[in-house]
Chains A and B, each alone.
With several copies, the nearest count.
Chain A
Amino acid sequence: MPAERVITAAEAVRETLAQALRDRPEVFLLGEGVADPTGIFGTTKGLVDEFGPDRVVEMPVAENGLTGIAIGSALMGRRPVMTHQRVDFALLSLEQLFNAAAKSSYVTNGRHRVPLTVRMVIGRGWGQGPQHSQSLEALFAHIPGLKVVMPSTPYEFKGLLHAAIDDDNPVIFIEHRWLHYVSGPVPPERYAIALSGPRLVEQGSKATVVANSYMVLEAIRASAALAGVGCPIDVIDLRVLRPFDPTLILESVRRTGKLVVCDTGWRLFGIGSEIIATVAERAFDALKKPVARIGLPDHPTPSSLALAETYYPGSGDIIDAVGKLCDLPAAAVSAARAEVVAARRGIPIDKPDPAFKGPF
């Protein structure tokens, strides 16, 4: 068997977009910078040369209007893939997304379809400050009629993005910018991963850790360290937030009896809240311990590295939470923690962790 091809998530996105543009004449890209020389963190780079400016459409800085335009074109059978370089900008377009796109199929009794994909980049680092670093998935997850996807590995980026573009519904595709640098095996051919729920990343028995997007990497690292101290855990990548399918999570908690949720965004009224609520409703009797929540503290992102250092939770916090739920001895927790700290090699938290480059 030939060695698997390893590429970054950014390359996986670019390849997916190129395949979709090639396969389906109704697909087109729309976004600020989508046709510029840097191409949205490289994810659309050069595509305008192959497909031309009618398929790779540069847009004015007008997020709301262009979202409506994308919706209108989708109603007419086109398949726009829109990109916002930061989710913070997409706030301008929520009226169109929530009122028009999300409700189109429903209000027309299924006669309208809006095959629209909206890529929104979230992220952190390098002093971006409060208005350039948010992770707002909880807003989208609340709205019936949207699909909401958060890939983690390059393999997921490609398969889920193909599925999103193939889908006849508005799909919010949330990409963590630091994940763009992550590499992993990605088959060159076209494949789709159904937009239908979480995946089990690691199987253990001591506790269930549910994470999304970037926090999946932190959970994987924590899991390795915890396994090293005799505490293997389930790691679940939430992956598809909407439609929300908790089956795998409920199954896992029924096995482990312990639940830790990790949000990439704010903890309060966040994604983790729903996961906990669902478990407390439907697998309550399996729960042996109070649930634990990890996520951003309840304030905006400060720009200064000195303040951001405590802002972002990581694998250390996951280890602590699992350690507590599983009554691990203090020495085991410290050993696991020491391992993840060492892996980071002192890189400041405003730069991507080199150990997270993969392959994943």
Chain B
Amino acid sequence: MVTGLKASPGIALDPSLATNLFREMLRIRMIEEEIAKRYRDEKMRCPVHLSIGQEAVPVGISAVLRRSDQVVSTHRCHAHYLAKGGDLRAMLCELMGRAEGCCGGRGGSMHLFDPSVGMLLSLPIVAASIPIGVGAALALKQAKRDDVAVVYLGDASVEEGVFHESANFSAVHRLPVVFVCENNLYSVYTSLEERQPPRPIADLARGHGLHAVAVDGNDVVAVQRAASDAVRRARSGSGPAFIEAATYRWREHCGPNFDNTLGYRSEAEFEDWKRRDPLEFLARHLTEHGALNETQRADLAAEITAEIAAAFTYAEAAPYPAPDTAEHHLYAG
């Protein structure tokens, strides 16, 4: 047993589980890095919002979810989709506008979904997927399933009224929903202080009578612990919960580059957060506890590199949708 991870005292963590968490984070990181690298090829002809630096949140959350639990996400959905078990090829095909994309190429990077693993949908409009996730929770409750819905949201989306309407309804009906707020301190280039008063975001959830906690979003074990508690509550009918996870986006808001030179955030802040890299944070502890060594890490990376390379090769060779299908599926059925 690996014990005593610094940020999460008292947590006893199974080394193979911890290594899995590490592998998941590493995989997402490497996929995102590869997208960034290849973006200039202009084969992915759509906006991309990378989650590099924020991998611990979806990995910690997904660790306690079932396949049949339902997840909704935002414009920054790659990591949520991958962590929930979304298909990498279908994702890359989607980014490249191919017929085998999860949306048949119609949505692009902000519409990732995969019903087969409970990734219900992602939407590019800030906060728009929040009520939809709550609606999924309502449906789960109506159908008397003991699955839960997880709603990912950014720090900006609590500024949208619809977050509050959704939180209120979920509280009134004690719906099985867990709100996961990735607070990365920015909405595009605008800092939290310019947009919200100085109070914890979790206070908003408490105002609605929700069970709310704040965690270090770069500590995957802390996230997992909070998720485990929140999901248990939701699943057992004790109602909705809210997790505020503090984290940081490394690259520009939209696109593959770094953008600190724009001056909207300081180099010092950025460096500080890089030092709190969620991967290295966990790796250090795993290493300290003998659960991960250089060779193992290199093996993991090699395995993932191969998977990614194959997926890109596949997607780049995949066919485009036929132009005359453009008008299909305006209506269902």
Contact = CB atoms under 8 A, between A and B. Distances in A.
Interface stretch (B4-12, B187-195, B218-226, B295-303): B187-195
Contacts of B317: none
A65 B169 contact: yes
A141 interface: no
Given A131-B124, A305-B45, 12 more contacts: A36-B264, A61-B156, A69-B134, A71-B132, A76-B70, A127-B108, A127-B109, A131-B110, A145-B330, A147-B331, A243-B331, A307-B326
Interface string A152-176: 0000000000000001110000000
A99 interface: yes
Contacts of A130: 106-107
A33 B264 contact: no
A352 B127 CA distance: 30
B157 interface: yes
Nearest to A126: B45
A320 B194 CA distance: 52
Contacts of B330: 105-106, 144-145, 298-300
A195 to B, nearest CB: 10
Contact of A310 (B139, B172, B264, B323): B323
Given A64-B165, A110-B329, A78 B139 contact: yes
B67 to A, nearest CB: 15
Interface residues of B, number: 76
Interface string A124-152: 00111111100000000000110100000
Contacts of B320: 304-306
B329 A305 contact: no
Contacts of B323: 306-307, 309-310
Interface of B: 45-47, 70, 72, 97-98, 101, 103-111, 113, 115, 120-121, 123-128, 130-140, 142-143, 156-157, 159-162, 164-166, 168-169, 172, 187-190, 194-196, 262-264, 320-333
Contacts of B72: 72
Contacts of A248: none
Given A105-B332, A304-B97, A307-B105, A132 B124 contact: yes
A303 B187 contact: no
Contacts of B109: 127
Given A100-B132, A303-B97, A127 B45 contact: yes
Contacts, number: 267
A73 interface: yes
Interface stretch (A111-119, A203-211, A339-347): A111-119
A346 B110 CA distance: 28
Interface of A: 28, 32-33, 35-38, 54, 58-78, 88-89, 92, 95-96, 99-100, 104-114, 126-132, 144-145, 147, 167-169, 243, 297-300, 302-311, 350
A227 to B, nearest CB: 31
Nearest to B320: A306
Q: Chain A's interface: helix, strand, loop or mixed, by majority? A: loop
Contacts of B156: 60-61
A95 B161 CA distance: 12
A128 B125 CA distance: 12
A130 B45 CA distance: 14
26 contacts: A37-B264, A54-B142, A58-B195, A61-B160, A63-B160, A64-B162, A65-B164, A66-B165, A66-B169, A68-B134, A68-B166, A72-B139, A89-B125, A95-B125, A109-B103, A110-B328, A113-B333, A127-B46, A129-B46, A130-B107, A167-B333, A303-B46, A303-B106, A304-B105, A306-B323, A309-B323
Given A37-B262, A72-B134, A72-B139, A306 B105 contact: yes
Listed residue (A69, A95, A110, A299) with the most chain B CB atoms within 10 angstroms of its CB: A69
Contacts of B124: 129, 131-132
A89 to B, nearest CB: 7
A149 to B, nearest CB: 14
A112 B135 CA distance: 15
Nearest to A166: B333
A308 to B, nearest CB: 8
B138 A73 contact: yes
Contacts of A35: 190, 194
A304 B321 contact: yes
Nearest to B333: A168
A307 B105 CA distance: 8
A61 B127 contact: yes
A89 B127 CA distance: 11
Contact of A128 (B46, B70, B103, B104): B46
A113 B124 CA distance: 19
A61 B138 contact: no
Contacts of A28: 142
Contacts of A71: 131-132, 135
Contacts of B46: 126-129, 303
B142 A78 contact: yes
Contacts of B187: 32, 60-61
A304 B133 CA distance: 26
B9 to A, nearest CB: 36
Given A110-B332, A114-B332, A70 B135 contact: yes
Listed residue (B127, B328, B332) with the most chain A CB atoms within 10 angstroms of its CB: B332
The 3 closest A-B pairs by CB, nearest first: A72-B135, A68-B131, A65-B165
